[in-house]
Amino acid sequence: MLRNLTFFIIRLMGIKKIFSKTPVDYEKLRKSDRKLPPKRFLKKFSVESLDLDDTKIYKIKKADTTSKDLIIFIHGGAFISGPAEHHWNAIEKIVKDTSKELWLIDYPKAPEYNIHQICQNIDWVYEFATQTLALSENITLIGDSVGGNLIMTLTQRLLEKKKEIPKQLILITPVFDASMSNTEIESIAEKDPMLNVSGILSAKEMCANGLDLKDKTISPLYGTFKGFPKTEIYIGAYDIMYPDAKIGVKKMQEEEVDVKLIDGAKMPHIYPLLPVLPQAKKALQQIIESIKE
């Protein structure tokens, strides 16, 4: 009953309608962006912001935090929008319950920027973090949707360049394949209350700027996962990203990655960030426990 009500509210918000049009109306989608931390953050946490090239970094921690660990949160939004309210809500609970410093990365978006420029900004953020605050072995990367995509491609580049990688990746309904060419997606599209293939594909094409959507720069499924750190993947079965995630997990297993799939039965896209659902609360708590370990 609660799941049906949640799905109804998601549809009522009109997100799927936005993602049903080509080209996707990114300006309309951005109306729900929340670019600044909620005011309550200033009472609860120490909050700093800084600009690194075209990226805004929000550093959030408890005032008495002494942990040397760092969480880097790369938000989703189809490469064209974000962060949104649900990102801040999840971050609030993560920082409160883990007592670790967290950086929210508001990277540049398409269509004003392309995937190469976005990835370059992500690379700079990671390098800045390792040089100024934390060893890579103290860094946890979290990303939802295309945030998960950007985390995977970052890790692939680090391995290619023989650089130090983070200690773990937490991927929330990540985008493995930007081409959306998996025929199994069609059987899930009607069940997905949030996303539609046409709009998602339009957003990816805006970001790719002519690059083949099966290029590993924007589709980590076509790169290698060999050498990846411990990885957790949270994905709902009613998410059009689900079929590609299953392929991605299988490939990771074949390449000897310590990967764990947390399968959300009948759950939608980014379900761990929708805490009204019992399964979502459980998933977010599991993420927090993984970070604390």
pLDDT for position 134: 67
Buried b (16+ CB within 10 A) or exposed e, 190-214: eebbbbbbbbbbbbbbbbbeebebe
Asked whether 153 and 176 are in contact (CB, 8 A), the reply is no
Reported pTM: 0.96
Identity at 272, one-letter amino acid code: P
At which residue do the structure tokens 């390792």 appear?
130
Average pLDDT per 10 consecutive residues for the chain, totaling 293 residues:
68 85 95 95 96 97 89 98 96 97 98 98 96 85 98 98 96 98 94 94 97 98 98 97 98 98 94 88 96 90
CA neighbor of 89 nearest in space, from 279, 232, 266, 270: 270
Cα 255 from Cα 262, distance rounded (Å): 19
pLDDT for position 5: 65
Spell out the domains of the chain, with CATH numbers in brackets. Answer: 2-292 (3.40.50.1820)
